[in-house]
């Protein structure tokens, strides 16, 4: 060993495996779900394979596929991924098996976009797509929500769901869970954040129902809990379930509400709360968790700005949490874990910028002796590169 680095002196938290039910994540780095707007009628394209397999090659422990709709109206855009048919599940199998071959764990986020559905991809403005507009393959559709309240000016008004439709949606989530298992996913995340359908039921702003799915917090939580219960029964017992919350949304849902929800989710068999924030309205959604000041929409969020939510939920609901949001370097991630603020580190944009982030983090934290974590197809050449003095790392 001649790279001038004293590797493996001690095992860092970021590279400690984590056992969740019957599976073991090889490390604590998670690819946060990232919509790619590259599916056709909900069927994964080669983009999904290329995109997700990259992070498995890069040493990410748990690779989450993007928000995947449980029914056609649940897609954010007509180009979003779906899992309401067997064909859609089948198309994901090569991706899950490749991720496993690389020693990573494949995860799927199941979702329903509710009143934020039927939009164009962000690079085309994220604007509502009308019923007759086929620019994106499938045309747009009438959105559905707990109440007929639009997200903000310029958004379509959704149609309020009936109780019978709500029951059907609960079953759609369960069917999606069954298909996800068949597709080879080993972790399932229920998307309960960012103003999409489940979050909009939780929100007193978006949910103005006066039946048993609305009203006080327990009524507003009913849909989330029914979905979770149905998914837990449909998903194998030995595989874990994550639930993503908007821990605060600055519009009537606060971290205390998320803690109460997390306690109930834990009782239903959820293993990890993934702690995001915001997204319920068009208004500035985030708040700097440390000092409570609202952050301007689109403004720069501080590093690790949502970590305090993961910490509070972990402590007060006594459940494992994933921290996410501007976690960008190895030591920052290590410090979050070693201070007991979260159990997992979700990374989105930094991984898109550098898909080999985990391998580089392992080098920085001296956890990868002789590049052992690299895929063998690359390792020999990376070792040669180091031996020839072309190594510019630590
Ligand atoms: C391109 C893009 C797509 C995203 N898609 C999803 C998604 O499908 N589901 C979700 O829960 N969050 C989604 N997010 C949010 C990320 O998962 C993550 O929480 C957010 O980017 C903050 O983490 P970061 O600072 O590491 O990027 C998306 C973010 C980006 C930038």
Q: In sequence order, what E strands does the chain have?
A: 18-20, 23-25, 29-31, 62-69, 105-111, 144-145, 159-160, 187-192, 241-246, 272-276, 320-324, 344-347
Look up residue 394 and give its two tokens: 């630590």
For residue 3, being part of any structural domain is answered with no
Tell me what percent of the residues of the chain surpass a pLDDT of 90. 89
Is the pLDDT confidence value at 300 over 80? Answer: no
Domain carrying residue 291: 13-387
For residue 316, being part of any structural domain is answered with yes
pLDDT at 333: 98
Nearest-CA residue for ligand 1 atom 29 is: 34
For residue 32, the ligand 1 atom closest to its alpha carbon is: 17
For residue 350, being part of any structural domain is answered with yes
Q: In sequence order, what E strands does 247-290 have?
A: 272-276
> Domains in the chain: how many in total?
1
Do the strands 144-145 and 159-160 form a parallel or antiparallel pair, or are they unpaired?
Answer: parallel
For residue 324, the ligand 1 atom closest to its alpha carbon is: 23
C-alpha 199/C-alpha 354 separation (Å) is: 31
pTM of the predicted model, to two decimals? 0.95
For residue 6, being part of any structural domain is answered with no
Mean local confidence (pLDDT), 82-109: 98
Mean local confidence (pLDDT), 57-86: 98
For residue 2, being part of any structural domain is answered with no
- Provide φ and ψ at 386, rounded to 5°: -65, -45
Q: Which of 152, 162, 231, 239 is nearest to 192 (CA)?
A: 231
Mean pLDDT of the chain: 94
Nearest-CA residue for ligand 1 atom 31 is: 349
Query: How far does the centroid of ligand 1 lie from the alpha carbon of residue 31, in Å?
Result: 9
With a Cβ cut-off of 6 Å, ligand 1 is lined by 32-35, 66-67, 109, 191, 193-194, 244, 276, 324-327, 347-350
pLDDT at 292: 55
Of 34, 51, 123, the one to substitute when testing ligand 1's pocket (max ligand atoms within 8 A of C-beta) is: 34
Q: What is the CATH number of the domain that holds 229?
A: 3.20.20.70
Nearest-CA residue for ligand 1 atom 5 is: 34
The most confident of 4-8, 27-31, 383-387, by mean pLDDT: 27-31
Catalytic positions, written as ranges: 196
For residue 211, being part of any structural domain is answered with yes
Question: Whose structure tokens read 């649940």?
Answer: 74
């Amino acid at each position: 060993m001649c790279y001038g680095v004293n590797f493996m002196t001690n095992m860092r938290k970021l590279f400690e495996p984590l056992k969740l039910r019957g599976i073991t994540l090889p490390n604590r780095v998670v690819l946060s779900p990232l919509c790619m707007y590259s599916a056709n009628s909900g069927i994964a394209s080669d983009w999904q394979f290329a995109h997700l397999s990259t992070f498995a090659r890069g040493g990410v422990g748990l690779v989450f596929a993007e928000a995947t709709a449980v029914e056609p109206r649940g897609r954010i855009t007509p180009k979003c991924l779906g899992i309401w048919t067997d064909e859609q599940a089948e198309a994901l199998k090569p991706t899950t098996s490749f991720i496993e071959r690389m020693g990573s764990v494949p995860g799927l986020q199941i979702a329903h976009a509710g009143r934020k559905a039927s939009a164009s991809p962000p690079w085309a403005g994220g604007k509502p797509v009308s019923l007759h507009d086929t620019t994106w393959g499938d045309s747009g559709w009438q959105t559905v929500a707990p109440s007929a309240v639009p997200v903000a000016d310029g958004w379509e008004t959704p149609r309020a769901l009936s109780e019978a439709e709500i029951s059907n949606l609960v079953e759609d989530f369960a069917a999606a869970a069954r298909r996800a298992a068949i597709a080879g996913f080993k972790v399932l995340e229920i998307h309960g954040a960012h103003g999409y359908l489940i979050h909009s039921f939780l929100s007193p702003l978006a949910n103005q129902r006066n039946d048993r799915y609305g009203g006080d917090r327990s009524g507003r939580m009913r849909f989330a809990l029914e979905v979770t219960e149905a998914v837990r029964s449909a998903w194998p017992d030995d595989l874990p379930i994550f639930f993503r919350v908007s821990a605060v949304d600055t519009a009537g849902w606060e971290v205390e509400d998320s803690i109460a929800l997390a306690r109930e989710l834990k009782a239903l068999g959820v293993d990890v709360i993934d702690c995001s924030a915001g997204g319920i309205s068009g208004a500035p959604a985030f708040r700097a968790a440390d000092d409570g000041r609202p952050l301007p929409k689109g403004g720069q969020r501080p590093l690790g700005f949502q970590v305090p939510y993961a910490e509070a939920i972990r402590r007060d609901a006594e459940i494992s949490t994933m921290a996410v949001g501007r976690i960008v370097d190895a030591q920052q991630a290590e410090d979050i874990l070693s201070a007991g603020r979260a159990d997992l580190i979700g990374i989105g944009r930094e991984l898109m910028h550098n898909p080999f982030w985990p391998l580089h983090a392992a080098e920085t934290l001296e956890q990868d002796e002789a590049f052992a974590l690299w895929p063998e197809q690359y390792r020999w050449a990376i070792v040669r590169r180091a031996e020839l003095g072309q190594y510019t790392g630590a």
